[in-house]
C-alpha cells in the first residue's frame, strides 16, 4: 500500500470540489451559530424562568447529541415531513446541504451559547455597575461594555469550538452531501486505493485547520494585545514572575476603549 | 406499524447502545493511558520526544477523527500485514470497524488528554517536588503518592470533557459499518418510517448516559477536592459571582 502521486494529482479536482463544500459549511454555520447563540445566551441568563429553561433545554439537548444524529434528525425526520411540501420549507428540507447547515448549526450554536454565557458571566460586575453609575444607557452598557469584554474572555474557547466544529463537518456525507471526506471516499470506491485519496484529504484538512487556527490566533492578538506574553509563559515549565497582570487588566483596557 | 415491532426495534437499539458503551469505555481507558504516557514523556524534556509530540499533536488535532478512522479501517489491514511481513510474520491482519474506531478514538482523543494531563502536571507547584526530595521520598513514590493525586484533581474537569467527547465520537464508527446505536437508529427509522422516535431515543441515550456519568464525575471531584475545603467558593463562581 503506497501513496500514489499520480492518482493524488488526478483526484485533485474532485477533492477541491469537496473542499469547497467543507469550507461552505465551515463559513455558513458559524454565522448562524452566532446569530442563534447570543440571544440564546441572554435567554439562558434571564431572570425569567420561561426564557431561561427552554434555553437551558436547548443547550442540553443539542450539545449532548452527536452531530450525526442531528443530521439524521433534520434530513430524514424534518425532511420527511416538509420535504414533500411545496414552498419554502419544502425547498429547504429537500436540499441536503441546507439540512446539513441546519443540523450543524443546532449543534454548534449550543456550544457557542455556553461560551457566550461564560464570557458574559466573567465580566466583573463592578464594571457593569460603574458603567451604569456613569449614566450610560442600559443598551449601551451591554453593547459597548459587557459584550466587547465578553468577546475577549470567550475568544479562546470560541476558537477551539470553531476548529472542532470544522473537523466535525467530516461526517456530513451520511446525508449525501459530498464534502472533502466524501470526495476522498468516492475516489477510493472508484480506484480501490484508500490510502492516496484519504491521505490527500487529510493533508487538505490539516492545512485548512491550521490556516483557521492562525487566523483566529491573529484575531486574539489583535483583541488582547497585552496578553500575548501570557501565552508564552504557559508553554514553558519555567517559573516566571508575573510581569504581565492577569486577565483582570483586560477590564481597564476595555473600559478605556468603551469610553472613547 | 404494530407496536410489537416498534418494541422489537427498541430492543435492537438497546443492544446497539451496549456496543456504544463498550467502545466508549474501552476507548476512554486507552485514551487515559496514551494521554498519561505522552504527558509523562514530555516531562523528560527530551528534544526527540518533544519533536515527536509536536508532530503527533499537529497531525491528530488537525485532521478529523472520521478520516483517521477511515485510514485505519481501509488502509490498516494491508499496512499491518506488510509491516508484520517485514518481521517474517506472514499473517493476514483483519482490522474490524470496532478495532479501527477504537484505534482512531485513542490516538485522536489521546492527544487532547495528553494536553490536559500535561498542563495539570505543570500546574502542580514546584514546591511539591522540592519538598518531596527534601524529605527523601523516592521519585516513584513522589509521583504516585504526592504528584499524581494532585494531577488527578487538576485534570479531572478536562478529562471529564474528554470522556463526553469520546462517547459522542463513537457515533463516527457507524461510518465504518459498526452496528452501534446511531447506525441502528438509522436502520430502525428507515424500516418503521418513524424517524423522530428512533433518532430521539438515540439522542436521549447519549444525553442521559453522559448526564449520569457527569454526576459520577462530580462525586469523584468532591472526593479529590476533599483536601481543599472551599466548596461554596466554586458554587459562587458558577453563579457568576466574583469571589
Span A201-222, pLDDT tens digits: 999 999 999 999 999 988 888 8
With bands split at pLDDT 50, 70 and 90, how would you rate the model's confidence at B237?
low
Cell of B126: 514546584
* Reported confidence tier of residue B92, pLDDT bands at 50, 70, 90: confident
B211: cell is: 448526564
Which chain A residues touch B207 with a CB distance below 8 Å? 60-61, 64-65
Q: Which helix (DSSP H) or strand (DSSP E) does residue B38 occupy?
A: helix B3-43
Q: Domain containing B29 — which CATH number?
A: 1.10.3720.10
Q: State how far the alpha carbon of A91 is from the alpha carbons of A57, A78, A88, A105, in Å.
A: 29, 12, 5, 18
Could you say which residues from 209 to 238 on chain B have a Cβ atom under 8 Å away from some Cβ of chain A? 210-211
Q: Is residue A242's pLDDT more than 60?
A: no
Is residue A88 in a domain? yes
**A225 in any annotated domain:** no
Q: For residue A172, give its domain range.
A: 20-180
- Does some domain include residue A239? no
Confidence of residue A260 (pLDDT cuts 50, 70, 90): very low
Among B43, B67, B108, B208, pick the best mutation site for testing chain A contact (most A Cβ within 10 A).
B67
* B88: contact with A, CB 8 A cutoff: no
Domain assignment present for A108: yes
B138-145, long-range: CB < 8 A, 24+ apart: none
For residue B171, give the nearest of A1, A66, A184 by CB distance: A66
Angle at the Cα of B129 from the Cα atoms of B123 and B133, rounded to 5 degrees = 180
pLDDT the model gives residue A22: 95
pLDDT tier at B3, thresholds 50, 70, 90: low
Which whole-number Å values give the CA distances from A199 to A59, A72, A183, B64, B157, in the listed order?
35, 27, 12, 12, 34
Residue contact B186–A206, C-beta within 8 A: no
Give mean pLDDT, residues B149-170: 92
Q: Residue B225: is its pLDDT beyond 90?
A: no
Report which of A110, A109, A97, A32 is spatially closest to residue A71, judged by C-alpha positions. Answer: A97
- Per-residue pLDDT at A31 exceeds 80: yes
Band (pLDDT 50/70/90 cuts) for residue B228 is: confident
Cell numbers for A66, please give them: 452527536
Per-residue pLDDT tens over the stretch A132-177: 999 999 899 999 999 999 988 888 899 999 999 999 999 999 998 9
Tell me the chain A residues in contact with residue B210 when contact means C-beta distances shorter than 8 Å. Answer: 64
Check residue B69 and give its pLDDT.
94
The per-residue pLDDT for A249 is 36
Please tell me the distance from the alpha carbon of residue A207 to that of residue B62, in angstroms, as a whole number: 8
Give the one of A65, A185, A209 whose C-beta lies nearest to B62's C-beta.
A209
Q: Do A185 and B70 touch (CB under 8 A)?
A: yes
Question: Could you tell me the three cell numbers for A84?
Answer: 414533500
Closest by alpha carbon to B111, among B35, B39, B46?
Answer: B35
| Contact yes or no for A64 and B74 at CB 8 A | no
Q: Check residue B170 and report its DSSP letter.
A: G
What rounded mean pLDDT belongs to chain B? 87
pLDDT band at A229 (very low <50, low <70, confident <90, very high): low
Per the CB < 8 A criterion, the answer to whether B99 and B112 are in contact is no
Residue contacts between A and B (CB atoms, under 8 Å): 123
Is position B34 within any domain?
A: yes
Provide the pLDDT for residue B39.
94
Picking from A22, A64, A111 by the largest number of B CB atoms within 10 A of its own CB, the best residue to mutate is A64
Q: Does B82 touch chain A (CB under 8 A)?
A: yes
pLDDT at A119 over 80: yes
Has residue A250 got a pLDDT over 50? no
Q: Is A259 among the domain residues?
A: no
Rounded Cα–Cα distance for residues A205 and B66 (Å) = 12
Rounded Cα gap, residues B34 and B51, in angstroms:
17
pLDDT for residue B78:
78
Q: Tell me what pLDDT residue B239 has.
A: 53
pLDDT score at B233: 53
DSSP B66: H
Q: Quick check: B100 pLDDT over 80?
A: yes
State whether residue A46 sits within 8 Å of chain B by CB. Answer: no
pLDDT, tens digit, 9 for 90 and up, residues A53-87: 999 999 999 999 999 999 999 998 887 777 666 67
Nearest-neighbour CA in chain A from B198: distance (Å): 9
A:208-247 residues touching chain B, CB 8 A cutoff: 209-210, 234, 237, 239
Task: Tell me the residue range of the domain where B199 lies.
Answer: 3-238
User: A66 and B169: CB-CB below 8 Å?
Assistant: yes
Using CB atoms, which residue from A69, A169, A201 is nearest to B203?
A69
Q: Which residues contact A132 (CB under 8 A, 6 or more apart)?
A: A138, A141
The angle subtended at Cα B16 by Cα B15 and Cα B21, nearest 5°, is 100
**How many domains does chain B contain in total?**
1
Query: Looking at residue A106, what is its pLDDT?
Result: 95
Q: Given an 8 Å threshold on Cβ–Cβ distance, is A66 in contact with B168?
A: yes
- Total domains present in chain A: 1
User: Contact A201/B82, CB-based, under 8 Å?
Assistant: no
pLDDT band at A228 (very low <50, low <70, confident <90, very high): low
Distance CA A227, CA A210 (A): 21
CATH number at residue A146: 1.10.3720.10
Whether B243 is in a domain gets the answer: no
User: CA-CA distance, A93 to B82, in Å (whole number)?
Assistant: 47
Of A7-21, A40-54, B3-17, the least confident: B3-17
B182 part of contact set with chain A, CB < 8 Å? yes
B171, A68: Cβ pair inside 8 Å? yes
**What is the ipTM metric for this complex?**
0.84
- Residues B179 and B16: beta-carbon distance below 8 Å: yes
Please give the C-alpha separations between residue A215 and each of A17, A27, A167, A170, A219, in angstroms, as whole numbers: 23, 14, 16, 21, 6
> In chain B, pLDDT over 90 holds for what percent of residues?
56
Amino acid at each position: 500500500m503506497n501513496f500514489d502521486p499520480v492518482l493524488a494529482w488526478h483526484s485533485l479536482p474532485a477533492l477541491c470540489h469537496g473542499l469547497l463544500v467543507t469550507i461552505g459549511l465551515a463559513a455558513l454555520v458559524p454565522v448562524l451559530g452566532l446569530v442563534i447563540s447570543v440571544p440564546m445566551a441572554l435567554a439562558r441568563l434571564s431572570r425569567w424562568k420561561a426564557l431561561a429553561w427552554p434555553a437551558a433545554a436547548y443547550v442540553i439537548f443539542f450539545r449532548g447529541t452527536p452531530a450525526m444524529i442531528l443530521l439524521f434528525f433534520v434530513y430524514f425526520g424534518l425532511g420527511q415531513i416538509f420535504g414533500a411540501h411545496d414552498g419554502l420549507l419544502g425547498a429547504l428540507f429537500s436540499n441536503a446541504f441546507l439540512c446539513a447547515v441546519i443540523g450543524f448549526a443546532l449543534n454548534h450554536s449550543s456550544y457557542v451559547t455556553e461560551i457566550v454565557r461564560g464570557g458574559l458571566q466573567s465580566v466583573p460586575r463592578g464594571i457593569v455597575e460603574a458603567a451604569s453609575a456613569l449614566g450610560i444607557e442600559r443598551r449601551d452598557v451591554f453593547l459597548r461594555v459587557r459584550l466587547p469584554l465578553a468577546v475577549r474572555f470567550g475568544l479562546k474557547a470560541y476558537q477551539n469550538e470553531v476548529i472542532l466544529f470544522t473537523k466535525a463537518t467530516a461526517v456530513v456525507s451520511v446525508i449525501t452531501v459530498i464534502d472533502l471526506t466524501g470526495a476522498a471516499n468516492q475516489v477510493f470506491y472508484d480506484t480501490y486505493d484508500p490510502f492516496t485519496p484519504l491521505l490527500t484529504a487529510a493533508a487538505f484538512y490539516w492545512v485548512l485547520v491550521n490556516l483557521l487556527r492562525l487566523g483566529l490566533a491573529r484575531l486574539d492578538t489583535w483583541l488582547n494585545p497585552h496578553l500575548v506574553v501570557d501565552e508564552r509563559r504557559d508553554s514553558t515549565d519555567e517559573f516566571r514572575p508575573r510581569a504581565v497582570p492577569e486577565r483582570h487588566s483586560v477590564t481597564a483596557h476595555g473600559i478605556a476603549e468603551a469610553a472613547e | 406499524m404494530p407496536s410489537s415491532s416498534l418494541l422489537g426495534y427498541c430492543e435492537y437499539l438497546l443492544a446497539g447502545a451496549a456496543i456504544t458503551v463498550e467502545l466508549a469505555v474501552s476507548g476512554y481507558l486507552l485514551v487515559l493511558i496514551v494521554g498519561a504516557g505522552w504527558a509523562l514523556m514530555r516531562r523528560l524534556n527530551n528534544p526527540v520526544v518533544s519533536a515527536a509530540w509536536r508532530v503527533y499533536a499537529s497531525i491528530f488535532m488537525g485532521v478529523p477523527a472520521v478520516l483517521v478512522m477511515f485510514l485505519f479501517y481501509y488502509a490498516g489491514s494491508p499496512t499491518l500485514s506488510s509491516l508484520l511481513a517485514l518481521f517474517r510474520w506472514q499473517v493476514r491482519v483483519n482490522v474490524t470497524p470496532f478495532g479501527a474506531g477504537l484505534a482512531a478514538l485513542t490516538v485522536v482523543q489521546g492527544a487532547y488528554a495528553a494536553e490536559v494531563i500535561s498542563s495539570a502536571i505543570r500546574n502542580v507547584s514546584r514546591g511539591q517536588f522540592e519538598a518531596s526530595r527534601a524529605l527523601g521520598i523516592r521519585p516513584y513514590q513522589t509521583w504516585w503518592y504526592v504528584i499524581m493525586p494532585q494531577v488527578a484533581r487538576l485534570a479531572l474537569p478536562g478529562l471529564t470533557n474528554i470522556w463526553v467527547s469520546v462517547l459522542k465520537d463513537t457515533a463516527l464508527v457507524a461510518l465504518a459499518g459498526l452496528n452501534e446505536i446511531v447506525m441502528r437508529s438509522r436502520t430502525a427509522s428507515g424500516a418503521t418510517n418513524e424517524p423522530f422516535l428512533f433518532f430521539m431515543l438515540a439522542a436521549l441515550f447519549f444525553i442521559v448516559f453522559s448526564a449520569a456519568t457527569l454526576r459520577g464525575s462530580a462525586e469523584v471531584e468532591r472526593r479529590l477536592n476533599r483536601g481543599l475545603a472551599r466548596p461554596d467558593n466554586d458554587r459562587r463562581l458558577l453563579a457568576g459571582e466574583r469571589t
